[in-house]
Structure formats: C-alpha cells, structure tokens
Chain A
Amino acid sequence: MTGVIQTIVLGVLLGGVYALAASGLTLVFGVMNIINVAHGAMLILAAYLTFAIWTHTGLDPILAALITTPAMFGLGWLIYQLLIRRIRQAPASTSVLLTFAIALMIEGIIGLIWKGVFRAVTPGYFNDSVKVGSIYLPTARLYACVTAIAILVLLWLLLTRTWAGRAIRASSQNPQGAMLMGVDVASVAALTFAIGVATTGAGGSLISVLYPFFPASHYQWISRLLGIIVLGGMGNLTGAVVGALLMGVAENICAVYISVQWVTAVPYVVIFAVLLLRPRGLLGARTREDVAPA
C-alpha cells in the first residue's frame, strides 16, 4: 500500500512541474488558436540556459528561473513579432508547420552551442529526500513542485485580477468582440505569446533538476505537454493542471508497475485515447460549431 501511495505522491510532484510547463502551451492555444509545437524546444532551451548559469556561477537552478523567465519572455515576444504575427489569419496547419520549423531551429542552435550530449543539473540537494511518515519526498522534486505551484498561482492572479489578464481572457473568448470593446487584440496576442513562452523559462529551470536532457529531448516534452493539454481540454488552464497531475501519476505508475522503457509511450496513448473518445478533453467546453463566424 505504501508503495502505491509513494508512486502516486512522486507522480503528483512531477505533475506540478508538468502543469507549469503545459500552462503556457494551453494559454497560447486558448487565446490565439495556435499550437506552439516549439514549446518543448523552448523548455529545453531554458533548461540549457539554467545549466549554463549553474555551471558558470553556481547559482541554484531553481533560483535561475528568475533569469530564464524574463529571458524567455523576451524571446517569445521577439518570435511573435518576427514570425507568428504574419500567420495570424492562416489555417491551423500553417501555424503548426511554422512552430515546428521554430522547434527545429532551436534544437539546432542548442546542438551548436552545447553539443548533442546529455546534460543534467545536479545541485547539492539533488540526491536528498525528506521523509514524511513512510513516504519519501525527493528534495529536488519537492522544491520544483512548490515553485511551480507558486508560479502558477501568480499566473492565475495575473489572468484574473489584472486588466491585461481580462483582456487576454476576453480575446480568447471572442477576439472580434474584444476588439470592438477597445482591446488591442494584436498586442494582447503578442503579450499572451510572450507570457506563454515565459512559462517555459521557469519550467525549463525546474525540469533541469528533474531529468537529464539533450537537444532532441524536446520531442518527448512536446508529446508529453500535448498529451496533457489534450487530456485537460485544449485552451483550459485548470484542465492543464488536472491533466498534468494525471500524466505525472500515470507515468510513474507505468514506470513502477509496467516498464520504464514504455514511459515515453504514455503521452501518445493518452493523445490517441482522448482525441478518439472525448476530443474536447476532461474540462474542455463543448461549444456550438454550427454558428458560422460572420
């Protein structure tokens, strides 16, 4: 029994970090109707940045989020202005192809700078753990999860308690309406995209202490994150959190009770199952699709 609880607790700790990593992806989809396939690559880029900061300055990788987050915000804003802005009216497949191209470029740039080998960030507490009752909590996972939750709360406050947040939510529900109400939908889109990418800053710093990574790891990460937001309902932030916790637990259960080498298959199975059985996901709203946009 303890084994089961231990497995689930470890999964939930992972899930918290997954939730932060997926939040930006689902936010960008919700507001802009764009799936940023480069989200995983941005996450890995932030992990490498954290690795560089940690090796050069010895700064704690979790604290490095204070640097990587604004850096990724800037990168997101730049990518929006240079590339994404030009395809706002294009069909869904165009944005997927473009962001996939961005992912390739980021993967290539990471490979050029840091070479195609596995890296890992191992601060002093890397192998420590805290014991609560009969349950072990690995210190790194615990810190990462708590930080992720704190940032998610901040993000939630930003979206619900500020004017910018209301503008973002209004734009996600009805862009034309928001535009007519005086919201500058174009700059809201730039802001949203930048915020979405900024979450990969903190997210990348946190995952750098959880998993070793190399340039092509982004395929695994984007699969995992897509699985999460598809499961939770695409564009739904609460759904992403629920999906992330379930994904973390499911991966851990698979690792312990089935086989470690099939863990990477979990997101794919989830994607197939959800899109076939319940395409709107767990918390996605079923909206009328017959009302044609004027």
Chain B
Amino acid sequence: MRRATPERLAFSALLVACFAWLVAYPLYSHNQYWQNVLFFAFLFAVMASGWNIISGYAGYVSLGQSAFVGLGGYTTGIIATRAHISPWWTIPIAAAVAALVAALLGVVVMRTRGHSFVIITIAFLLILQLVALNWASLTGGSTGTTLPLTSYPREWQNTPFYYVMLGLVLLSVLMTWAIRRTKFGTGLIAIREDEDKAGAVGINTPVYKVLGFAASAVLVGAAGGVYAYYLTFIDPTGMFNILYSVFTVLAVLLGGRATVWGPILGGFLIELLREQTNVHFGASSLNLVIFGALMAAVVLFLPRGILPTAAAWFVGRRTRGVPGVAEGALDLRPGLALAARPEERPAESSILLAADGLVKRFGGLRAVDELSFYVREGTITGLIGPNGSGKTTAFNLIDGMMRADAGEVRFEGRRIDRLPPWERAHLGLGRTFQITRLFRQMTVLENVVAPLRSFSLAQLAAGAVAGHEVERAQELLDFVGMSRFAHAAAGTLSFGQQKLVELAQVLMLDPKVILLDEPAGGINPTLIERLVEKIRELNAMGRTFVIVEHNMPLVAELCDPVVVLARGKRIAAGSAHEIQRDPLVLDAYLGEGWTVDEAVTA
C-alpha cells in the first residue's frame, strides 16, 4: 500500500549497506574492541525489538525486559555447567524457557493494566534476581557461575558470538516486520488503542497478549544465552540488570515506538553512548545520572522517537499545500454493501436475544435490577428510559463488557452470559458505543478491517489487510458514506463521522443483531436522517437492531417494539404507540406535563 518514495528507497539502500558492512566487518578488521561494542549494540537491539512488540505495539510498558536476558543466561549456564551439550542446543532451550516464562507471566497478569502492569514487571525482574541470588545450589548465588568455554579454534576469538548475535538482530527485524503485517500485529495495536473495544469487535485479546509476551521474550532469551557464553561468567546483578531494562526502554523511545527499525537504531545509539560514558567516566554513578537525564529528556521532549519524527518531517514536506481530509464532504451516494439475508419473517418471529433476570450492582447501587426482556428476530427494538435507568449497563451485560451478578443472557436459545466479549461477537452480536470508541491512531480503513468474525491460530498469521477484506470494508464505508476518509486517522474525524465509521466497523462482523447505543446522540439532523435510512435498509436485509436512544421522535418512527426501563427494571413494553399511553411510563419516564401527541408529531 505504501508507495516507494525516493526517501523510502534511500532508506532501504542505507539499511542494506549497513547490514553488508556489519557482515563484512570482522572479515577485514580484527579490532576486538569494536567487535565488542557492536556485540553489545546487537544485544540491546534484540532486547529493544522484543520490548517493542509488547510495549510498542500492544502498549504494555514493561521495565522487566532484562529478566529474559537473565532467564536465557541462567538457563544456558545451568545446563552448560552440568552437561556436555553444544551451544546449538542450549541457546534454543534458553529461548524456549524465556518464551514460556513470558507466556506464563502473560497469563498471570492478564487482568492488570497501566500502573499495575509496570509495577508487576519491576517486581518480576527483581524477584528473579533474588531467586538467582538465594538459590545458590542451582545458580551459584552471589558468587555466580563460570561457564565452560565453547570448543572452536581460539584464533577466532569472539567473532562467532558476533555473528550469532547479528543473526538474532536479523531475526528480530524479520519477526517484527512479519508481526506488523499480520492480523496478529493489528490485533496487538487494537489492544493498545482500546483493549475492551478490541474484545467487543471479536479479537481474542488474551491469546493475542500471551503470544505477544512470548514473542517479545523468545529472541531475548536466546540473546541472553549467547551473552552468557560470551561473558563466560554469570551473576545475579549482571544478568538480571535493571539498567539493561532502562537501556531497552530508552532505545525504543529514542528510535521510535511501534516501528520496525526504531528499536534497532535505538539499540546502536544507546550502546555508543554507553561506551562513551564508560570511556570518559568509567562505569560510575555518573552514568546513572546521564542515562536518567537522557530518559527524562526523551520522555519529555521526544515522545515519538527519531524515525517517526523524521518520517513525519518528510511527509510534511511532501504534502505541503495539499488540503487535508478534514474538508471533504460526506459522500452521499446510496451504496449497497450487504447481501440480503434469506428473509422470511413470519408474523411472530423467533426470539433472537433474551435477557432474563439480569442484575448488576455497583457498590450499593443496583444499576440493573432483575431486568428481563427479549428481542425478536428482524425487529428494531427500542430500549428507552431516563438517565441512570440501566440501558447502557444492560448493553454491557449483553455484549460481555461486564459480567452480570445474576441472571442469564441467551442468544439464539444459547446461554452467552459466561462467554467473553469476542466469542459473543463471533456468534453474531455487534455493538456501538455511546461515546464512540474507534482505534484512534489507526486509519478508518484499518478500523473497519480490524473486527474478526472467528478465531483460529492460523488467522494470526493472515495478512493484516487482505484484499477481499479491503473490498468489503470499502463497500461498508461506501454504505455509510465515509469512503472518502478511508485513509484518515480515525481520531481526526468528527464525532458524527466516528459514529458512522463505528457502524461500518460493526457491520464488518456481519452481526445478526446490532446494539446501537444512542446512535443519534450528538450528531446533526441531516446525519440522523441518513442513519435512520441506513438502519431501515439493514433491517430490510434481515439485521435485527436494539437501539438505546433519547430522541423520542426517532424512537417512535423507527422502533417496534419499545422496552422501557426505570431504575434497572423493565416497566413497560409494546409498540411506541402503546407505551406512550402507559401511565407507568408517563409517570416514571416522560414526567408530568408531557402530552403524547407532541412526541409523535414532533
């Protein structure tokens, strides 16, 4: 999709030249000092690349990345001192152990986010360091362990390590590049942007995260093994070194988060800087001050990193004077995107979705209190009620954003209230939000392509934006009149436009029932008309709707039946006409002084 601009070609040529030079370097120079510097640059590049997957793509910032160097190093050390096994075996084992522990950590910390997650990663690193220190019979404790020398000709010096580590850098780049191009990568980015929403559009977030953790650790574990052989000595503070975690974070922030090459560039920069400070000041307290200050400066002044900043500069230069997308008008072509479902709607269609005795408490408040209602197939069912009557909470219980304290939700006769959100989405339940929740840094097209209608491991490797999906997404964007904005970042759209994109996004799931939370809230009348038209069209094609809405004329026009909620309970249900005459409804919801005819004719 990205065209080969001159800058891009120059960048590729530069990369190839750099790589060729790195491969050739030990062949013409036997300078062990510079080989050592480059070895460490490779190590930091591998660590940074791994960190970038879980922290750059998935947004889970970790300060524990050096734990995987330590795990890899100690795995190698423990095996190598006890058995005569070739490094060709111990290094892969080290990689596997690191990946396994990372996946386990991923399972264990599944529910922690933000602050709690960072705290856990620090604790994880320090507790491993403590175990290495205290479990002396296995690890040698604070005195460390000396590894046996590897058995290649001495005159090769450290060059074999150089090449193995360079190979790991190359693998890291390939892995990052591959991840970014697959569903796995877009899923991780969706998790970074809005994890709950990602679940609601069918992304199996736990599996994505656990695999993301494993991917972020596997090559780092291997690098730790190589590093242990290289040093021939391991000890707890050297291997589980929190300063290396800092270097990792710095490398990625400096080079550019969520880019393929940023972490590599950052790794090299950090090592050059580290080498300079070591030469001039020795490995002293001053180093801590320098790297601390550098980290503060990067966090404050260069949050995007070098590569994205440079890329933005080039793009800015290239597109100077070209109007942005914000001025584009809505494209009002009547589009048709969806194949009609075989439609046979009997007078009394079957019940598609049913809530039975739902209860949700927040502290002492019962937001939803013994709520029961059902939705017949092919209807547009309205869900109305005063503010705080539990409408949105009911949606959250139905689509799985929240778990009910009691009661059942059934979809096509099957209980779904214990299923996670993505499985409910796979069954055919789609939902939009009162305040739109698009993945703001993705483009509109990427947003619409993001939903997943099923889950399989093979799917993780599928292309991020495959051809037929793009076609379908384009059709859906046509359908809602937003195709002109396909390549704009979702966060730059107006609220009403975001609502339309979110509708297209949900339609990508090809849902049987669509829950719309205040579709008309905060958007202009023309857009509302358009939305009503679209809902009718979709309904005619067999989609069932449940709509929460405060716009009474719209509800009266569109919805039949209407379910009325008050204080978390259903107080009435029937046609709009019927409920408008229901004294209970008038009393609880519309309030005094409201006349029915005004509402209908308004």
Spell out A's residues near B (CB within 8 Å): 29, 35, 37, 83, 86-87, 90-94, 96-98, 100-112, 116, 215, 219, 222-223, 226, 230, 234, 261-262, 264-265, 267-269, 271-272, 275-276, 279, 285-286, 288, 290, 292, 294
Contact = CB atoms under 8 A, between A and B. Distances in A.
Contact of A100 (B63, B126, B401): B63
11 contacts: A37-B122, A83-B300, A98-B300, A101-B292, A107-B292, A112-B285, A265-B134, A268-B123, A272-B127, A276-B112, A286-B362
Nearest to A91: B114
Interface residues of B, number: 50
A101 B295 contact: yes
A230 B292 CA distance: 26
A287 to B, nearest CB: 8
A92 B109 CA distance: 17
Contacts of A262: 130, 134
B86 interface: no
A86 B85 CA distance: 53
Nearest to B402: A290
Interface of B: 55, 59, 61, 63, 108-109, 111-112, 114-116, 118-120, 122-123, 126-127, 130, 133-134, 242, 246, 249, 253, 284-296, 299-300, 303, 362-363, 392-393, 396, 401-402, 434-435
Contact of A97 (B108, B291, B299, B401): B299
A219 B125 CA distance: 11
Given A86-B300, A109-B285, A234-B115, A272 B292 contact: no
A116 B282 CA distance: 14
B299 A279 contact: no
Contacts of B249: 97
Contacts of B435: 292, 294
Nearest to A227: B123
A122 to B, nearest CB: 25
A279 B112 contact: yes
Query: DSSP majority for the A interface?
Result: helix
Nearest to B119: A226
B299 A108 contact: no
Contacts, number: 138
A103 B286 contact: no
B288 A94 contact: no
A105 B127 contact: no
Contact of B296 (A102, A107, A215): A102
Given A98-B299, A226-B123, 11 more contacts: A29-B115, A83-B296, A91-B114, A96-B118, A101-B296, A104-B289, A106-B292, A107-B285, A109-B289, A272-B120, A294-B435
Contacts of A92: 114-115, 118
A268 B292 contact: no
State the main secondary structure of chain B at its contact with A.
Answer: helix
Minimum-distance CB pairs A-B, first 10? A111-B285, A108-B288, A104-B292, A93-B61, A105-B292, A108-B289, A101-B295, A101-B296, A92-B114, A268-B127
B119 A275 contact: yes
B61 A105 contact: no
A272 to B, nearest CB: 6
Given A35-B115, A92-B118, A108-B288, A272 B296 contact: no
B298 to A, nearest CB: 9
A279 B116 CA distance: 8
A272 B107 CA distance: 13
B123 A108 contact: no
B396 to A, nearest CB: 6
A219 B303 CA distance: 26
Contacts of B402: 290
A265 B288 contact: no
**Most chain A Cβ neighbours within 10 Å, of B114, B122, B287, B363:** B122
Given A97-B249, A223-B126, A279-B112, A107 B288 contact: yes
A112 B290 CA distance: 12
Contacts of B130: 262, 264-265, 268
A87 B112 contact: no
Contacts of B401: 290
B121 to A, nearest CB: 10
A177 to B, nearest CB: 18
B299 A87 contact: yes
Nearest to B362: A288
Nearest to A234: B115
B509 to A, nearest CB: 21
Nearest to A104: B292
Contacts of A294: 435
B127 A265 contact: yes
Contact of A275 (B61, B120, B127, B294): B120
A101 B116 contact: no
Contacts of A109: 285, 289
B291 A104 contact: yes
Nearest to A33: B115
Contacts of A222: 122
A287 B48 CA distance: 36
Contacts of B363: 285-286
Contacts of A271: 119-120, 123
Contacts of A234: 115
A152 to B, nearest CB: 24
Contacts of B118: 35, 92-93, 96
Contacts of B123: 223, 226, 267-268, 271-272
Contacts of B111: 276, 279
Contacts of A116: 285
Contacts of A110: 285
A271 B434 CA distance: 36
Nearest to A292: B435
A219 B126 contact: yes
A290 B433 CA distance: 11
Given A94-B299, A97-B249, A268-B130, A275 B112 contact: yes
A111 B112 CA distance: 34
Contacts of B63: 96, 100
Contacts of A223: 122-123, 126
